[in-house]
Amino acid sequence: MSDIKKVVLAYSGGLDTSVIVRWLQDTYDCEVVTFTADIGQGEEVEPARAKAEALGVKEIYIEDLREEYVRDYVFPMFRANAIYEGEYLLGTSIARPLISRRLIEIANETGADAISHGATGKGNDQVRFELGAYALKPGVKVIAPWREWDLNSREKLMAYCDERNIPVEKKKGKSPYSMDANLLHISYEGINLEDPWAEAEEDMWRWSVSPEQAPDEPTYIELSYKKGDIVAVDGQDMKPHEVLEHLNKVAGANGIGRIDIVENRYVGMKSRGCYETPGGTIMLRAHRAIESITLDREVAHLKDSIMPRYAEVIYNGYWWSPEREALQALIDTTQEYVNGTVRLKLYKGNVEVVGRKSDDSLFDEKIATFEEDEGAYDQKDAEGFIKLNALRLRIAASKGRKL
């Protein structure tokens, strides 16, 4: 007899997690609580309720977390200009801490003994879910079916459904790719993408048109910032999730946000994936633009130097860690004067910064001008500056040292 009496499962309503509900009931003889989060995946989440009820689930949590997701996770990450391995905007990574937190909270509310998820034993998500869970509730029991069962193919999963009368939809025309979506991005893995030489098929993409099919006229957009976060688009105030929803539409319509990468997973393997991050692509470019006129040089360079570490912390699943908290505190401190407006030109997959302004700008036209500066900057000062900075080079060269 299992000592697990109740489990909270991160439940999507899809094939894998529907099988997991019954598998948990059969294997652990336990009660299952399902938790379904709406974080902007673009699909209706309410049908998960009926599916869970059909599987005998009595406690069902379905929650709209879009506002919290963007406000408390996406926006703080973009204050850091975080990007993993130079390309990946961390769309899947940043959604996992929120889900982990709610799993633990629901476990506490319902008196559950364990939590469970549908991540495989090959990926990063198992690490992210579980590191978060252990950080928030050290003694929690985690059940990861993909590391326990032998249902390691779609055929075996479907056979399991048939044997146990699990209702699952068998829709024709459904995407064959392994996909994960939320307000920040949608990812694609599997099938022909497992060959890094194979080009992604055009009909795979869901959120954006190809640059070739984008409008022949550019779209201009203005983003207003307050303390590093976007608060308005084209002069209209918006909530964080509304900002991202709007930017996804505008960017997607202009062929912006597609990438095709091979990344290094935390578990050790390389993985090829394609990602659509339309709004996030705009956000990264615009945030760097507003920082370019409002941040002190050394502060900006310090931020750039810690960004890869910050991005790695999130990618690897350490959102709920002291190092992330420390890095976040530093990053947020730098955002006090990151206020103002950025104007962008969107055209056939490209995002161009064409204007930036701020009452907190450190850009001084009198000093920077190529015209008469009326004594604002004494060019003679540069001679001593250069000689002092060259001193160590001159001493080494005088001693005959070679570069």
Task: Give the residue from 277, 234, 286 showing the smallest Cα distance to 256.
Answer: 277
Q: Is 37 annotated as a binding-site member?
A: yes
Do 253 and 378 fall into the same domain? Answer: no
Do 200 and 276 fall into the same domain? Answer: yes
Q: What is the pLDDT of residue 141?
A: 97
Share of the chain above pLDDT 70, in %: 98
Q: How many folded domains does the chain comprise? A: 3
pLDDT at position 175 over 80: no
Give the active site residue among 49, 72, 178, 206: 178
CA-to-CA distance for 6 and 108, rounded, in angstroms?
A: 11
Write the CATH number for 35. Answer: 3.40.50.620
CA-to-CA distance for 372 and 276, rounded, in angstroms?
A: 48
pLDDT band with cut points at 50, 70 and 90 for residue 123? very high
Q: Is 179 helix (H, G, I), strand (E, B) or coil?
A: strand
Q: What is the pLDDT of residues 272-330, one digit of tens each?
A: 999 999 999 999 999 999 999 999 999 999 999 999 999 999 999 999 999 999 999 99
233 within a domain of the structure (yes/no): yes
171 within a domain of the structure (yes/no): no
The predicted model gives 105-113 an average pLDDT of: 97
Q: Is 128 annotated as a binding-site member?
A: yes
| Residue at which a domain ends, from 163, 188, 212 | 163
Do 56 and 200 fall into the same domain? Answer: no
For strands 114-116 and 6-10, give the pairing. Answer: parallel
Q: Is 12 annotated as a binding-site member?
A: yes
pLDDT at position 43 over 90: no
- Give the burial class of 46: count Cβ atoms within 10 A of its Cβ; 0-12 exposed, 13-18 middle, 19 or more buried: exposed
pLDDT band with cut points at 50, 70 and 90 for residue 174? low
375 within a domain of the structure (yes/no): yes
pLDDT band with cut points at 50, 70 and 90 for residue 178? confident
The predicted model gives 18-47 an average pLDDT of: 94
CA-to-CA distance for 275 and 260, rounded, in angstroms?
A: 7
Do 107 and 155 fall into the same domain? Answer: yes
Q: What is the pLDDT of residue 374?
A: 85
Give the active site residue among 38, 113, 125, 229: 125
Q: What residues does 352 pair with on adjacent strands?
A: 345
* Residue 297 is among the residues annotated as catalytic for this protein: no
CA dihedral 307, 255, 283, 96 (to 10 degrees): -60
Write the CATH number for 194. Answer: 3.90.1260.10
Do 196 and 57 fall into the same domain? Answer: no
377 within a domain of the structure (yes/no): yes
**pTM given for the model:** 0.95
Do 42 and 138 fall into the same domain? Answer: yes
Find tokens 């007899």 and name the residue.
Answer: 1
Q: What is the pLDDT of residues 344-357, one digit of tens each?
A: 999 999 999 999 99
Do 238 and 345 fall into the same domain? Answer: yes
Q: Is 247 helix (H, G, I), strand (E, B) or coil?
A: helix
Q: What is the pLDDT of residue 176?
A: 78
The answer for residues whose C-beta is within 8 angstroms of residue 206's C-beta and 6 or more apart is 42, 175, 181, 186, 276
Q: What is the pLDDT of residues 48-58, one digit of tens each?
A: 999 999 999 99
Q: Which domain holds residue 372?
A: 367-398
Give the active site residue among 22, 66, 79, 96: 96
The answer for residues whose C-beta is within 8 angstroms of residue 402's C-beta and 6 or more apart is none
pLDDT band with cut points at 50, 70 and 90 for residue 129? very high
CB < 8 Å & 24+ apart, contacts of 212-217:
212/255, 212/348, 213/255, 214/253, 214/254, 214/255, 214/347, 214/348, 214/349, 215/253, 215/254, 215/348
| C-beta neighbour count of 40 within 10 angstroms | 23
Question: What is the pLDDT of the chain when averaged over all its residues?
Answer: 95
List the single range of 114-118, 172-176, 187-191, 331-335 with lowest mean pLDDT: 172-176
Q: Is 124 annotated as a binding-site member?
A: yes
* Residue 178 is among the residues annotated as catalytic for this protein: yes
More confident residue, 68 or 42: 68
Do 289 and 260 fall into the same domain? Answer: yes
Q: What is the pLDDT of residue 197?
A: 97
* Residue 125 is among the residues annotated as catalytic for this protein: yes
More confident residue, 370 or 69: 69
Q: Is 15 annotated as a binding-site member?
A: yes
Q: What is the pLDDT of residues 203-249, one digit of tens each?
A: 999 999 999 999 999 999 999 999 999 999 999 999 999 999 999 99
Q: What is the pLDDT of residue 1?
A: 52
321 within a domain of the structure (yes/no): no
User: Which amino acid, residue 75?
Assistant: F
Q: What is the pLDDT of residue 166?
A: 87
Do 154 and 23 fall into the same domain? Answer: yes
* Residue 260 is among the residues annotated as catalytic for this protein: no
CA-to-CA distance for 93 and 287, rounded, in angstroms?
A: 20
